[in-house]
Amino acid sequence: MPRIAVLSRKLLLGAVLAGVSPFALAQAASLSATSRIEGVTLYPDAALVSRRVSVEIPAGEHEVVLSDLPAQIDPASLRIEGAGDTKLLIGGVEFRASAAGAGTPEAQKRLKALRAEKDRVGDKIDAAEGKKAMINRLASPGEGKDTKMVDPEQWLKAVEIVGKGLRAVNEELRVLRDEDARLDAEIAAIENPEGIAPSQPETRIVAAIAVEAQSAAKAELSVSYRVRGASWRPVYDARLDTRGTAPALELVRRALIRQQTGEDWKEAKVTLSTLAVNRGTAAPELRGEKVAIYERPAPKPVMAPAPVARSAPMSAEIAAAKIAEEQRQKAYIAADEAEAKVDLGDYQAEFVLPGKMTLASGGAERSVRLSAEKPEIKLVVRTAPVLDPTAYLEAGFTHKGETPILPGEVLLSRDGTYIGKGRFSQIAPGENTRLGFGADDRVKVTRVPLSRQAAGPGLLGSTKSEEFQFRTVVRNLHAFPVPMVIEDRIPVSEDQAITVERMSELTKPDLEAPDERRGVIVWIPNLKPQEERAFVTAYRLRWPAGKEIRALPLRP
């Protein structure tokens, strides 16, 4: 089929200057066309929707009317391509707002006729109601002292006449009310063809596309547009298993999809892109800054978390039931979960979801699996007893995937038990990272002050000093060696009048300022089974007499 020429507003102006007759939408015959969603490219903050339109175009100038576009569409993003069995020209596009389902000229014409018919039926109902009221008044006997006795034969004839009249008028009302209900249903079907809830937007965007055909043609148009109200965000499952011969970590990458665009995506091919289209397009213009005195607020005290309750000893019945359940599970074959195909570009990655998907517009999120990997890990037990005397199990690994790990929430499981949530920052391929997997109750940590000695001004009365000593004791209760990372801190002075001296009692650290965290010292022991080790933090502060000092957080 020959390709259809796509004519934008600028090209249309060029056509006018070149002598080509631009066809006006106001004078063109309307061709109502239906479309179906073929594909959706979903970004973290928007979506690009592609629709396929099949339409038969008579010879001459016409407008192809698409009345089912959502209100959140960005009109400037609309793009039209296509093909036909004869030469066609696509002109400008006109956008109109309309009630849902009532945007086409045919629908508007039908609505006008139905509403006029409903008015006529309403007039007939009012007339029938008046006739019924009059019959009821005539059927009521007069009251008062002047009421005469009615002849029985005449009374029976009157009753027969009134009864016939009431039956006739009631039947007329029943027919008229059924007709009124039918008209209401037809009007509602046109105004709201898919039963959209009142809480959802009831407006649609109607796009009228000007086309010109030299002869009758069958055409396939591809219409794409960007729409707000759709997004996806990464989420991860990190499952650590320490029960085998070697610890293993499975990292599953998922996407949570949400769309509130006002249109349902039915049987669409969905692709997730890492490109954020609403973030910005260019770097901001940088301006200079000045330095001023700033009083940093005092740090808030950090409360240690509540101690973790120990599990009660497992009874023989519970242990037997657990073994039986494990044996039963071995008899089943685990189901595989479909994964996305990764299309890696130079500046973005796309995940093509398998098959086709139906996503209804609404507030619910849908989870889909993108990929999974099993990185090589190294387990350590990390503790920072100056803040929390708990030892935490940690898995470190190098990200070897082709695509970056995007910032997102991590759902953590250890040995089949969900233990909580963590969070990934953005991690590039080849970059190291680590995840915490909860407390290790078989590693005991205590930190106690040994001494704190203050000295007043010397003979010259110019300097004060104070000494601090803390002892950290760790003990491995496991039956296997445990590598540990123990962090503590020594204050850093940014004022020449204040000096920090390390005392000889300080246990020499294995590492200082990890990840550029100034003032942090680290010991990295490898504890044997049942081994206990002690580490001492010791330093002296000196500052001018008559001044006061306090600890403040360091800038990163």
In a domain, 324, yes or no: no
**Shared-domain flag, residues 267 and 393:** yes
Q: Which residue's entry shows tokens 């046109």?
A: 190
Distance, in Å, from the CA atom of 481 to the CA atom of 423, rounded to the nearest integer, reads: 29
List pLDDT tens digits, range 462-509. 888 899 999 999 999 999 999 999 999 999 988 888 999 999 999 999
Phi/psi at 329 (nearest 5 deg)? Answer: -65, -30
- More confident call, 51 vs 308: 51
**Shared-domain flag, residues 82 and 205:** yes
**Domain at 457, CATH number:** 2.60.40
DSSP 481: -
Domain boundary among 439, 474, 495: 439
Distance, in Å, from the CA atom of 25 to the CA atom of 105, rounded to the nearest integer, reads: 13
Contact in structure between 515 and 434 (CB atoms under 8 Å): no
Contact in structure between 361 and 261 (CB atoms under 8 Å): yes
Distance, in Å, from the CA atom of 48 to the CA atom of 41, rounded to the nearest integer, reads: 5
pTM: 0.63
In a domain, 294, yes or no: no
Q: Which residue's entry shows tokens 């973790």?
A: 308
Inter-CA distances, 348 with 281, 344, 428, Å: 15, 7, 13
**Shared-domain flag, residues 172 and 207:** no
Distance, in Å, from the CA atom of 31 to the CA atom of 190, rounded to the nearest integer, reads: 17
Reply yes or no on whether the pLDDT at 556 is more than 90. no
**Shared-domain flag, residues 474 and 506:** yes
**Shared-domain flag, residues 394 and 263:** yes
**Shared-domain flag, residues 236 and 355:** yes
**Shared-domain flag, residues 424 and 493:** no
CA neighbor of 172 nearest in space, from 120, 121, 113: 121
- The residue type found at 43 is Y
Residues in the chain: 556
List pLDDT tens digits, range 166-180. 888 888 888 888 888
**Shared-domain flag, residues 431 and 380:** yes
DSSP states of 191-213: HSTT---TTS--EEEEEEEEEEE
Inter-CA distances, 513 with 125, 218, 425, 539, Å: 88, 71, 20, 17
CA neighbor of 262 nearest in space, from 186, 199, 356: 199
Q: How many domains does the chain have?
A: 4
The least confident of 90-104, 479-493, 536-550 is 90-104
Q: What is the pLDDT of residue 296?
A: 65
**Shared-domain flag, residues 47 and 64:** yes
Distance, in Å, from the CA atom of 44 to the CA atom of 228, rounded to the nearest integer, reads: 11
Residue span of the structural domain in which 429 resides = 230-276+337-439
The least confident of 2-16, 245-259, 323-337 is 2-16
